């Protein structure tokens, strides 16, 4: 997925356990007032301000380049929303698993946004399915970072993906704060729409997701369809779900000169270019595009087709992009396919501007940021009619939605647009207008509303008492041996 963000220059700051240098005095005063009110048994009153959020992203870091490994749209979402929350005065500390001994303990992603690297298991060699075995170690690192703070240092927790949710609901009970959870993908939905040759999500994830849904104070769904899945498949309460659409960076993904973009990428001006951007895995279905391109070549041999695949290998199914290259050769378009590594946003925007169409043939997407980014760049999208893509793409207005993954059907859908310049031009204009409806600022508006509901509900259901503080002191000093050592 995308809004692919180049990993920023690492700016180390104080190590784990050190206080962030901003607004310390104000926070201490606020925390002291809350503690005094709690000790007196008095309700601190309505929620007005959110000062600091603990964001948990266990399996992938917002510093990583999306488009390869486990890095994708979730990385973009966490980074983009954190930056904008901080710009509004809400500090964000993102906890993620350290994957290199070279990474500093803490990195400043942006003013007011810290990324905390938690050592949990070996730095390399762990696949995402191996990470449940490291959740205890990761949780210990998160607890240790918080144990040196004043009570109330974090106002709430926002966990991303089920692994983070497992850690989050342990932390929320220990810290006495609510947890807001974003699933980003749901195992039961993925298993229902699996690609041929893909592996189903393990039962441990199914159980873990059920637990996280039950324990979360509020759930963020990208679309109404995802909200419906949470209710029907996981038994989530309707009144605990907030539908908040992701955004797109319309300052980076902008329309521009197709000729200039192609010249920059070394593409011929007369080619009909169809681009794919995403992780190379069965779920994203780049093979469907390759097979469809083979059909296009046989049915429209006079058209100079060019397929551009941007991304890196991830997950099960293919061991390398060579598998796709072999497939391209087998269907007779080997010389018509260009493979590019994952691109930072500015370069990805250039690819989209160079393309006539962007194809998103995924078997499932909780939203589909690539589709929005392409449209923001003024390029129509042909996408599978699944998940959030039916919201991200307006069928017949900004592109086309295709039912199923039959390469012949996909070839006809692509040809029906790509070979008609006037149709392309009209869809491209509408695509940009549509994309402008989705901003990260609007996403943050929705998140802040959800955060405030979570805090208000938490206060109403669990009035703070001095017992929470006693529990923290117990944890720091005289608690069970397995926990008290985390604070040392």
One DSSP character per residue, 292-342 reads HHHHHHHH-TTS-EEEEEE--B-SSS-SSHHHHHHHHHHTT-GGGEEEE--
Q: What is the structure's pLDDT at 63? A: 77
Tokens of 408: 């012949």
Q: What is the structure's pLDDT at 94? A: 97
Whether the CB-CB separation of 201 and 194 falls below 8 Å is answered with no
Q: Who wins on pLDDT, 102 or 262? A: 262
90-109 per-position pLDDT tens digit: 999 999 988 778 889 999 99
Q: What is the average per-residue pLDDT within 232-241? A: 97
361-385 per-position pLDDT tens digit: 999 998 889 999 999 999 999 999 9
Hey, is 186 helix, strand or coil?
coil
Complete DSSP assignment for 274-297? EEEES-BSGGG-HHHHHHHHHHHH
Q: What is the average per-residue pLDDT within 34-43? A: 39
| Confidence check: pLDDT of 28 > 70 | no
pLDDT band at 315 (very low <50, low <70, confident <90, very high): low
| Confidence check: pLDDT of 349 > 80 | yes
Mean pLDDT over each residue of the chain, to the nearest integer: 83
Instruction: List b or e across 201-222, with b for residues whose CB sees 16 or more CB atoms inside 10 angstroms.
Output: beeebbebbbebbebbbbbbbb
Q: What is the structure's pLDDT at 326? A: 93
Whether the CB-CB separation of 391 and 380 falls below 8 Å is answered with no
Tokens of 45: 């009153």
- CA distances (Å), origin 429, targets 247, 327, 353, 376, 425: 19, 34, 13, 9, 6
The whole-angstrom separation of Cα 389 and Cα 371 is 8
Nearest to 126 by CA among 105, 102, 160, 97: 97
173-214 per-position pLDDT tens digit: 999 999 999 999 999 999 999 887 788 999 999 999 999 999
Whether the CB-CB separation of 376 and 432 falls below 8 Å is answered with yes
| Confidence check: pLDDT of 24 > 50 | no
Q: What is the structure's pLDDT at 27? A: 41
In sequence order, the β-bridge partners of residue 56 are 95, 159
pLDDT band at 419 (very low <50, low <70, confident <90, very high): very high
The dihedral built from the CA positions of residue 363, 365, 370 and 376, taken in this order, carries a sign that is positive
Whether the CB-CB separation of 410 and 446 falls below 8 Å is answered with no
475-485 per-position pLDDT tens digit: 333 333 333 32
Q: What is the structure's pLDDT at 34? A: 42
Strand order in the sheet with 106-110: 106-110, 113-118, 91-97, 52-56, 156-160, 179-182, 218-221, 241-243
Q: What is the structure's pLDDT at 62? A: 84
The whole-angstrom separation of Cα 289 and Cα 364 is 15
Query: How many helices (H) and strands (E) in the chain?
Result: 18, 14
pLDDT band at 472 (very low <50, low <70, confident <90, very high): very low
Nearest to 71 by CA among 47, 96, 46, 49: 96
- Supply the pTM of this predicted model: 0.80
| Confidence check: pLDDT of 126 > 80 | no
The whole-angstrom separation of Cα 115 and Cα 121 is 18
Rounded to the nearest 5°, which phi and psi values hold at 427?
-65, -35
Q: What is the average per-residue pLDDT within 138-144? A: 90
For residues 142, 159, 448, 366, the Cα torsion angle rounded to the nearest 10 degrees is 160
Do the strands 399-402 and 381-384 form a parallel or antiparallel pair, or are they unpaired? parallel
Q: What is the average per-residue pLDDT within 324-345? A: 94
The whole-angstrom separation of Cα 128 and Cα 119 is 15
């Amino acid at each position: 997925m995308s809004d692919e963000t180049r990993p920023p220059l690492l700016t180390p700051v104080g190590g784990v356990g050190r206080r962030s240098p901003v607004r310390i005095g104000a926070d201490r005063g606020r925390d002291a007032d809350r503690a005094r009110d709690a000790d007196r048994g008095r309700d601190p009153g309505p929620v007005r301000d959110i000062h600091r959020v603990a964001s948990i992203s266990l399996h992938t870091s917002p510093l990583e380049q999306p488009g390869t490994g486990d890095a994708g749209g979730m990385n973009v979402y966490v980074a983009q929303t954190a930056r904008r929350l901080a710009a509004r005065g809400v500090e964000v500390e993102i906890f993620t698993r350290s994957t290199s001994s070279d990474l500093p303990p803490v990195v400043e992603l942006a003013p007011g946004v810290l990324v905390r690297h938690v050592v949990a298991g070996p730095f390399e060699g762990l696949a995402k399915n191996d990470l449940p075995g490291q959740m205890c170690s990761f949780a210990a690192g998160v607890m240790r970072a918080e144990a040196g703070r004043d009570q109330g240092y974090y106002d709430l927790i926002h966990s991303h993906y089920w692994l983070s949710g497992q850690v989050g609901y342990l932390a929320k009970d220990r810290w006495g704060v609510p947890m807001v959870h974003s699933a980003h993908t749901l195992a039961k939905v993925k298993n229902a729409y699996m690609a041929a040759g893909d592996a189903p999500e393990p039962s441990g994830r199914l159980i873990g997701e059920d637990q996280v849904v039950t324990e979360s104070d509020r759930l963020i769904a990208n679309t109404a369809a995802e909200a419906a899945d949470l209710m029907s498949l996981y038994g989530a309460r309707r009144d605990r779900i907030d539908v908040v659409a992701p955004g797109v960076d319309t300052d980076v993904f902008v329309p521009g000169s197709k000729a200039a973009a192609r010249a920059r990428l070394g593409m011929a001006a007369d080619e009909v270019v169809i681009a794919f951007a995403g992780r190379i895995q069965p779920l994203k279905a780049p093979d469907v595009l390759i097979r469809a391109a083979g059909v296009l070549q046989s049915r429209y041999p006079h058209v100079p087709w060019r397929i551009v695949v941007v991304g890196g290998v991830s997950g099960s199914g293919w061991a390398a992009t060579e598998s796709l290259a072999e497939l391209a050769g087998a269907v007779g378009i080997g010389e018509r396919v260009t493979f590019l590594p994952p691109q930072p946003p500015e370069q990805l925007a250039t690819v989209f501007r160079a393309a006539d169409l962007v194809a998103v043939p995924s078997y499932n997407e909780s939203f589909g940021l690539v589709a929005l980014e392409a449209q923001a760049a003024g390029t129509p999208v042909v996408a599978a009619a699944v998940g959030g893509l039916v919201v991200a793409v307006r069928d017949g207005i900004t592109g086309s939605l295709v039912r199923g993954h039959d390469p012949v059907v996909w070839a006809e859908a692509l040809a029906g647009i790509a070979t008609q310049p006037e149709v392309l031009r009209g869809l491209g204009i509408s695509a940009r207008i549509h994309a402008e409806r989705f901003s990260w600022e609007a996403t943050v508006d929705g998140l802040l509303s959800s955060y405030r509901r979570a805090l208000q509900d938490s206060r109403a259901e669990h009035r703070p008492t001095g017992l929470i503080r006693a529990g923290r002191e117990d944890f720091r000093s005289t608690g069970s041996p397995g926990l008290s050592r985390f604070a040392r």
